Amino acid sequence: MEVKIGIAQMNKYAMSECGDSVEIAERPRGGVSVILADGQGSGKSARTTSLAVVNKTSALIADGARDGAVARAVHDYLYALKDGKVSSTLAIISADLDTQTVVFCRNSNCPVLVKQSYGLDVYDEEINPIGVHKRMKPLTYEMPLDLGMILVSYSDGIQAAGRKRGRAVDTDHLYRIINENEAQDAAFIAESILEYALELDDYRPGDDMTVVVMGLCDKEDTHKIRKIAASFPW
């Protein structure tokens, strides 16, 4: 099995820094997690918040903590760091090879979309962000690893795309992008969803936009070479 991860991101229009942060963390007993945080507000202050969240999350995963416990601990950390006055969304999507399961945790107003052999499920139950309520727990889901699975999450810049121009995201279009592609196309799926959201905002995004995609597919390389490709335009 091979885990493919695609990430596509765009700053809010006229902002030099993105308030969303993404991190990929290797799990100590096998597997990988992708972490997405959206700090309150935009620009440098939001970036500082989201970076603190993903860095703490990554460190706790590397220490061997379970995802649900990680999300609770990161909430407590942000609550103490910002005195309960700053929020952040948090989504953790993990392929855990030790338990042979997919685990994902949400403290986000945006869903996690999961494509399996039988169809597409949308996990969008209401949940508060981390950092502002004294007691907080994530919505946590676990399911068996299955070849061909695709998991997608995104920040609220995607969800709100087009609203200021009297438009709305067509969720059926998002579902088609996912359903018409395969697990190995994770990067293409992420870029396609971002491109669609940018079109709705006339390429002047009203908020920071980030899409993360995880796909589980057959190994393409018998030598088990790990590869990461990244592009950071300035």
Q: What is the pLDDT of residues 170-216, one digit of tens each?
A: 999 999 999 999 999 999 999 999 999 999 999 999 999 999 999 99
pTM: 0.94
Is the CB of residue 59 less than 8 Å from the CB of residue 53?
A: no
Summary mean pLDDT of the chain: 93
pLDDT, one tens digit per residue, over 28-60 is 999 999 999 999 988 899 999 999 999 999 999
pLDDT tens digits along 62-108 = 999 999 999 999 999 999 999 999 999 999 999 999 999 999 999 99
